Amino acid sequence: MALQQLNIHRVRNIQAASLPRFARINVCFGENGSGKTSILEAIHLLGMARSFRGTSARTLITHGHPDCIVQGAVARSGGARKLLGVQRLLNGEVSLRVQGAPARAVSELVDHLPLQVINADSFALLTGSPPARRQYLNWGVFHVEHRFFPEWQRFQRCIKQRNSGLRRDRLADRELSVWTRELAESGQRLNSYRQAYFADLAPLFRSLMDRLLPQLGELELRLRQGWDKRLSYGEALAATLASDREKGFTQVGPQRADLKVVIDGRAAEDVLSRGQQKLVICGLKLAQGQLMQDRAQKQCIYLVDDLPSELDAQHNRRVCEELDRLGAQVFITCVAQDDLADQWSQAQDLAMFHVEHGEVTEQSFGETSLDPAAAGAK
């Protein structure tokens, strides 16, 4: 999957930008506050209809304007182009388009433009609360198991109904047991999709970490399914029914699942330096891209904001090598044009975009210091 062109209107400090072509590796460089992250935000808006910082649409829209719009063309290698469009309004309204026709759900965009973000907020994968890790897990399963999303929707419906039954008095017993049975079946299936995905993901993650950070100790990725693994989900729900009634909600299930990275028996977030944490995060994100390629024959697109921060040159290079090995399209930001020169000098399919006060200009290859001939002439 690759983004082939992008039009940006009123996204943060970018009033208007028309980018008619991209390479596989796209480096956006410019001074602090120039608008590099805003380009990544625009791409994220196109694929997810929201900011990657989880903030409201208001923060994406250029100050003083009522809306922002992004339009782009994506294509699978050898496949037909798809035109996507997203408009967000200050009042919270959102309008999505695929091939010019209104799209009903964000999942349609996600399917066409699968994105992986590596930025400062990605640390939440290790140090944040479980929803960030469930989101990571769900993203992966969604892209390789087509039965996951409808099951996830069904599960949400069941748990909502069961929780509302739990809050009512005992007259609702019959209704409650119907929803509990439905929930047990749906949760069990959801868990089996996640477990199958996890079984493939964990070894990929370990071998990536062997390359990114070989001196790290015994590394383990663990999946907690959200209830006692010796029980079926139905049994676990039966065991907690009385306490669920008291509390008024369902306490166990896939909605409580979590992932844990463990090193020599200790939680990664407790023992790793900030740079090492960043490498683990890169390992997790790269493993998902690899698995998506292996299982779904689809490429995701990497949005990488300020990779060099927290990483020394050697580890920076290793992450770039892994991105390169994946063959995925990458949009990556840095301050100076030469910041990523070592990493990408061999890349054949490279484009450089200079960003200044919200204006984006593609540098021709002759103008870039990453061009081997130009670099040699300096």
Ligand X SMILES: Nc1ncnc2c1ncn2[C@@H]1O[C@H](COP(=O)(O)OP(=O)(O)OP(=O)(O)O)[C@@H](O)[C@H]1O
Residues that bind ligand X (CB under 6 A): 12-13, 30, 32-38, 59, 61-63, 335
Report the alpha-carbon distance of residue 245 to residue 165 in Å, rounded.
Answer: 9
Q: Hey, what are 14's tokens?
A: 């970018």
User: Least separation, in Å, of the C-beta of 255 and ligand X?
Assistant: 33
Q: Is 31 annotated as a binding residue?
A: yes
Nearer to ligand X, 119 or 138 (CB): 119
User: Least separation, in Å, of the C-beta of 124 and ligand X?
Assistant: 18
User: Least separation, in Å, of the C-beta of 364 and ligand X?
Assistant: 22
Nearer to ligand X, 59 or 345 (CB): 59
Q: Is 119 annotated as a binding residue?
A: no
Q: Is 145 annotated as a binding residue?
A: no
Q: Is 18 annotated as a binding residue?
A: no
User: Least separation, in Å, of the C-beta of 59 and ligand X?
Assistant: 6
Burial class (CB in 10 A: 0-12, 13-18, 19+), 1: buried
Q: Is 362 annotated as a binding residue?
A: no
Q: Is 62 annotated as a binding residue?
A: no
Nearer to ligand X, 13 or 293 (CB): 13
Nearer to ligand X, 13 or 127 (CB): 13
Nearer to ligand X, 56 or 346 (CB): 56
User: Least separation, in Å, of the C-beta of 41 and ligand X?
Assistant: 7
Residue set of the binding site for ATP: 30-37
Binding residues: 30-37
